[in-house]
Amino acid sequence: MAKIVKMVAQRFALGLLTLLIVSMIISAGVELLPGDLAEAILGQGATPETVAAFRKEVGLDVSAPVRYVNWLGGILQGDFGTSLATKREISELIGVRFKNTLFLAALAAVISVPLAVTLGVLAALYRNSLYDRLVNMVTLTSISFPEFFVAYILILFLSVNASIFPSIANVSPDLGFWEHVYRIILPALVLTLVVVAHMMRMTRAAIINLLASPYIEMAMLKGIKRGRIITHHALPNALSPIINVIVINLAYLVVGVVVVEVVFVYPGLGQLFVDSVSKRDIPVVQASCLIFAATYILLNLTADILAIISNPRLMHPK
């Protein structure tokens, strides 16, 4: 138990260090954006006095390192600052949007994870069969197309032609649970098609790799059915790589939703990020990037910890 606690503490400290480095990269990237922020927001007709006053108001009159330290200090105190476009608190602005993004990612995960594991187990069970080849072909085809292309194809067939689902994911806080699910089912399906191939192929590969193990061969010699061997003997021992790829794809479901949210005009954090970039709302851009980075780092940290816990041999690397 002490080793697990020590390992978690080490991974958490490494995650915090990585997040600090990412925050520096975010601030440096914002500084490299072309054009003057004050003139972009106030317009070319603004007088020099107005521009100078605005730069002082938003802290642009100090050097970049000082702005970074001030921004990081506010983040550590839970203060993300104020939006330049709406004058609202960024924490309030991001709260609802991030909740919407998490809801979309959770729905996609509920669909994709059981589907991918089931397809992977069946592909390993019927290895090199017509089913195995067909599933591999379909999943690889879906992942080979860009997300926006898959989204427009689904809109064409399931919204425009069949009128089954709405083409725009227009949601609001007063919607019921199932109505919310119905309105975002198309973006959830797009994300599902994107991540299923990774998880399915990893599940298949992990199980097939174990089928050559001596204890699996012994189970086969005893006459145990192949399906039971895979589900009761191979799958539990293949959990480490499967859990790893599942959690990493869950991180992608949260962080990689920007294109999908823009296509379906879904009011999530990705849509807010794109809108803020177009409006040059730099504080919101920084806060959005930091939240995305923190989510990705946290879920990768979780994947690492769960993989080690599910396979204690990884705690003693050779």
The confidence band for 110, taking pLDDT boundaries of 50, 70 and 90, is: very high
The top-scoring range by mean pLDDT among 110-114, 142-146, 217-221 is: 110-114
| 312 secondary structure, DSSP code | G
Q: Is pLDDT above 70 for 1?
A: no
CA distance 306 to 318: 20
CA distance 184 to 37: 35
pLDDT of residue 111: 92
The confidence band for 281, taking pLDDT boundaries of 50, 70 and 90, is: confident
Mean pLDDT computed over 172-187? 88
Element (H, E) at 9: helix 2-31
Mean pLDDT computed over 174-184? 88
Q: Are 97 and 261 in contact (CB under 8 A)?
A: no
Q: Is pLDDT above 60 for 318?
A: no
Mean pLDDT computed over 73-96? 82
Provide the mean pLDDT of the chain.
82
Q: What is the pLDDT of residues 208-234, one digit of tens each?
A: 887 777 887 788 778 888 778 777 777
Q: Are 103 and 171 in contact (CB under 8 A)?
A: no
CA angle at 148 for the pair 142 and 150, rounded to the nearest 5°: 30
Q: Is pLDDT above 80 for 256?
A: no
pLDDT of residue 35: 62
The confidence band for 145, taking pLDDT boundaries of 50, 70 and 90, is: confident
pLDDT of residue 48: 75
Mean pLDDT computed over 288-301? 86
Give the tokens for residue 82: 């104020």
pLDDT of residue 209: 81
CA distance 49 to 153: 51
Q: What are the distances in angstroms from CA 280 to CA 239, 272, 285?
A: 45, 12, 8
The confidence band for 139, taking pLDDT boundaries of 50, 70 and 90, is: confident
CA distance 184 to 182: 6
How many C-beta atoms surround the C-beta of residue 292 within 10 A? 23
**Structural domains of the chain sorted by starting position, each given as residue range(s) with its CATH number in brackets:** 99-281 (1.10.3720.10)
Mean pLDDT computed over 163-190? 87
Rounded to two decimals, the pTM is 0.83
CA angle at 63 for the pair 61 and 69, rounded to the nearest 5°: 110
pLDDT of residue 107: 92
